[in-house]
Copies of this chain bind each other. A is one copy, B any other.
Amino acid sequence: MIAELISVGTELLLGNILNSNAKYLSEQCSELGLSVYFQTVVGDNPNRLEEVLKQGIQRSDVIILTGGLGPTQDDITKEIVAKVVNKKLIKDHDTEKKLNLFFEKRKVKMSHNNLKQAYVPEGSMVLDNHNGTAPGLIVKDETGKKSIILLPGPPKELIPLFEEQVKPYIKEKSHYTIVSEVIKIVGLGESLVEEKVLALIEKQTNPTIAPYAKDGEVHLRITSRTKTLKEGKALIEPTKKEIYNLLGQHIYSSDGRTLEEVVVDLLIEKNYSLSVAESCSGGLLSGRLINCSGISSVYKEGIITYSNESKIKLGVKKETIDAYGSVSEETAKEMAQAIATRAQSDVALSITGIAGPNGGTKEKPVGLVYIACHIHGKTIVEKINALGSRDKIRNFSVISAINLLRKELLKKG
């Protein structure tokens, strides 16, 4: 089956935003066994959108449109689809109810514009949007053979809609089963991971192995294409084993969990409580851990000691900062020890570093970060040299701290 993506939005044509939806959907289609031959971006213009949509229906089996489903006058995707497939727009009562509920809950008066979102082309399959007001839609063309899938533009709405409702729909239409597993790796760069598994990548055709760099981590996706799910899973198994042999503990999960979920699960399993002290990361480490379910049973307290004054108030010795500086092995160590004492936690993490863009010196350049893990009376410190923007350095520090804790938790058996 051939798929085609049409992104609707003037902000894309003006270059205001990157088309991350097209990347996501292409990746997903490829995994589902659909061939994407064209991606098109078109503005909020009725004639041009109509032209592009008609062409898509002619040459592809599945057309995925994103954007232009909102409540404003500029949002025309649904209207143009209805026109092209020759269907009326009718009010969908379920969607209307949900819209009313949405605004009631927020205690906001629903504007007249918003009701526009309750209208759908006759005969559409309505996809529930749990993260916004515009529902997704699946509409058939006049022949009934082509599927036109409409999704809202914001990735936070589009991704769950696609995962939960579009994927099963496409899977049912597709002739073979695609099984894929993602092995997640931390603490090794993309080229190093690729070097280690290169022989494996080169000899494989089914399953295939593809590496992706992702915010300080590397993911290896193993994908098989078979008739049944069982065959697909069996085909993946030996490759997965070989990758585990090659990369060992650098692999933190292959079951979909994030790095922080793996660590929080380890803490829960061992019944260890956790506290956190942060300087340059300024709350991002706690913020990330606290996004995990079950965290409330282990997380005791966090503190953001961005200034030297607040580090000293926490319990770091003034002499330590005077002698070694606030960005040093010694300060990181005392931060972790001090928050463990204050919170009376089994385990403590700390981060102190220079995230830039200013504040670097020759001896202590931007990107120098110390992370410490205090566990059962012992404190381990790691020094890292991160590269890139302030944002990137802070993010890499957070990942490294979570990974340090993971390694220590695994050591304790």
Contacts and interface: CB of A to CB of B under 8 A. Distances in A.
B281 A190 contact: no
Given A52-B38, A72-B190, A302-B282, A15 B10 contact: no
Interface stretch (A26-34, A80-88, A139-147, A225-233): A26-34
Nearest to A26: B15
Interface string A261-293: 000000000000000101011111111011101
A290 B283 contact: yes
A70 B213 contact: yes
Contact of A385 (B105, B130, B389): B105
A335 B36 CA distance: 53
Interface of A: 10-20, 22-30, 36-43, 45, 48, 52, 70-74, 102, 105-108, 111-114, 130-132, 154, 156, 160, 180, 189-192, 194-195, 198, 201, 210-213, 221, 223, 276, 278, 280-287, 289-291, 293, 295-296, 299-307, 309-310, 313, 343, 357-358, 367, 385, 387-392, 394
Contacts of A40: 38-41
Contacts of A41: 22, 38-40
How many chain copies?
A: 2
Given A43-B37, A305-B301, A282 B278 contact: no
B192 A111 contact: yes
A37 B45 contact: yes
B19 A15 contact: no
Contact of A287 (B106, B180, B283, B289): B283
Contacts of A281: 287
Nearest to A342: B313
A268 to B, nearest CB: 15
Contacts of A394: 287, 291
Contacts of A52: 38
Nearest to A356: B293
A314 B90 CA distance: 56
B38 A26 contact: no
Contacts of A19: 18-19, 22-23, 39
Given A70-B190, A301-B306, A310-B300, A13 B26 contact: yes
